A and B are shown apart, each in its own frame.
With several copies, the nearest count.
Chain A
């Protein structure tokens, strides 16, 4: 499955990129599983996703909890808790 990943705020700074397209291996079905896989993609990803409990995700621009299915997603974003307003 090919998907566009977006990173914001300190997740972006730690991965060193704002977005990328990746081919996910079969078997990654949820946001939490995707985070676990990303943690293994190099030291910058390990650092960016180390505190996975504070990372928030959005699937196709909608907030998604860790257990949400990524099936059919075209754009998945990772970011810290929001601080606007």
Chain B
């Protein structure tokens, strides 16, 4: 788990997690990127604020929860903070397991939980120069809510 202003490289992160490992059959990565539009508005840039200390403990918590739910060989969360522009990477989740279903499910779980639990806040700067805090999406709460039920299918 890392919180950083610097960009990340997906290939390098996979290589670091899987180097010398022949017990990993499946690696899933999710990369969240900044789009040039959101909710129908053009966006010129973004600032990501977070709560140092709590962010790290929440990310560690969701990673531990994923490790407890699925048989993961490795996992990683990297989240950027600070000033970002369209096309920039925002967040990376990597999961590694023996089989693909655990890796897919854990990656989705990490993203859903991260989105509703980790203390990050996005402030977007519109094409007109006006800045506005991004509203939380109810669909993110729903996505996180589905993990409260037992998973329909694992393996």
Contact = CB atoms under 8 A, between A and B. Distances in A.
Determine direct contact between A and B, CB below 8 Å: yes
Interface of A: 6, 8-10, 58, 61-63, 77, 79-85
B53 A84 contact: no
B57 A61 contact: yes
B53 A61 contact: yes
Given A8-B49, A83-B134, A58 B115 contact: no
Given A61-B53, A84-B50, A79 B119 contact: yes
Contacts of B119: 8, 58, 77, 79, 82, 84
A61 to B, nearest CB: 4
B36 interface: no
Contact of A84 (B48, B57, B135): B48
Contacts of B114: 84-85
A81 B117 CA distance: 9
A78 B81 CA distance: 19
Contacts of A9: 49, 121, 123, 133
Contacts, number: 69
Interface of B: 32, 48-51, 53-54, 57-58, 79, 90-91, 111, 114-123, 133-136, 140
The secondary structure that dominates the B interface is: mixed
B66 to A, nearest CB: 15
Contacts of A61: 51, 53-54, 57
B63 to A, nearest CB: 14
B120 A82 contact: yes
B49 A85 contact: no
Contact of A85 (B57, B120, B133, B135): B120
Contacts of B118: 82, 84-85
B123 A58 contact: no
16 contacts: A8-B119, A10-B133, A62-B57, A63-B58, A63-B117, A80-B133, A81-B136, A82-B136, A83-B115, A83-B133, A84-B79, A84-B91, A84-B114, A84-B118, A84-B119, A85-B111
Contacts of B121: 8-9, 79-80, 82-84
